[in-house]
Amino acid sequence: MSTTLRFSDVRRRFGRLAVLNGVSGAVEPGGMLLVTGPNGSGKSTLLRCLSGLLAPDSGTIEYREDDGRLDVAERRRRVGVVAPDLAFYEELTVRENVEFFARLRRTSSQRGFAVLERLGLPLDRLAGALSSGMRQRLRWAWALLHSPRLLLLDEPFQNFDRAGEDGARMLLAEHLENGGLAVVASPSPLDFDHVSEHLELGV
């Protein structure tokens, strides 16, 4: 399995505000790029560009699986994303949300159910009644639902208690040990075993 992510001189402005000023990096199978920096430094913007949800103003982003370069639309379908702004249908249960996400992904819901079992989130709970930490567990199930090779994780342990963080760290470690790759954004450095590159924004 050959999977790589490379980006070079990525720039993005919002009006007069330059958020990304020529950012470059690369990740290989089993590796992680850790992106750190204060609020407003462009971490979330970079992940949105890498996922294909936001177009950079300039620069190149190249994501390859099995020696084939994926276009933006295919990259958007393939990656797994954990982000604070990922919303759910509050009137549906956890199970119903996962089943709906699975239909969107055209995949089985079983992988999502297995992730939630490991993270300790009941399937019959209404999404609207979930605490912030439980919502984060559901975001992890959404990200891993289709067994992506690339994970883009924006503050992946936000609102987790110790048990939730331990469970998510184990899922991430298994993903990397199986040849996956990841980009993790955090306001401050996190302790990981698989960091292959560290990118500091806003300096």
Q: Give the C-alpha separation, 56 to 128, whole Å.
A: 34
What pLDDT digit, counting tens, does each position of 11-27 carry? 999 999 999 999 999 99
Per 3-state DSSP, the chain is made up of helix, strand and coil in percentages (nearest 5) of 35, 30, 35
- Asked if residue 5 lies in contact with residue 69, where contact means CB atoms within 8 angstroms, the answer is no
Phi and psi torsions of 76, nearest 5°: -60, -35
Which SS3 state, helix, strand or coil, does residue 33 take? strand
- Model confidence band, residue 58 (pLDDT cutoffs 50, 70, 90): very high
Sign of CA dihedral 129, 130, 135, 137: negative
Mean pLDDT (whole number) for 155-165 = 95
The CATH classification number of 1-79+149-161+176-203 equals 3.40.50.300
Residue with tokens 């919002």: 14
What is the pLDDT, as a whole number, of residue 2?
83
H or E segment at 7? Answer: strand 3-14
Domain boundaries, the chain: 1-79+149-161+176-203, 87-147
What pLDDT digit, counting tens, does each position of 68-77 carry? 999 999 999 9
pLDDT tops 70 at residue 195: yes
Give bridge partners of residue 23 from the DSSP assignment. Answer: 10
Its pTM stands at 0.94
What is the pLDDT, as a whole number, of residue 1?
62
Q: What is the mean pLDDT of the chain?
A: 94
What pLDDT digit, counting tens, does each position of 99-153 carry? 999 999 899 999 999 999 999 999 999 999 999 999 999 999 999 999 999 999 9
**DSSP output for 116-179:** HHHHT--TTSBGGG--HHHHHHHHHHHHHTT--SEEEEESTTTT--HHHHHHHHHHHHHHHHTT
The helix/strand count (H/E) of the chain reads as 6, 9
pLDDT tops 80 at residue 203: no
Mean pLDDT (whole number) for 169-187 = 95
What is the pLDDT, as a whole number, of residue 202?
83
**Residue 150 CA neighbour count, 13 Å, CB half:** 27
Quote the percentage of the chain above a pLDDT of 70.
99
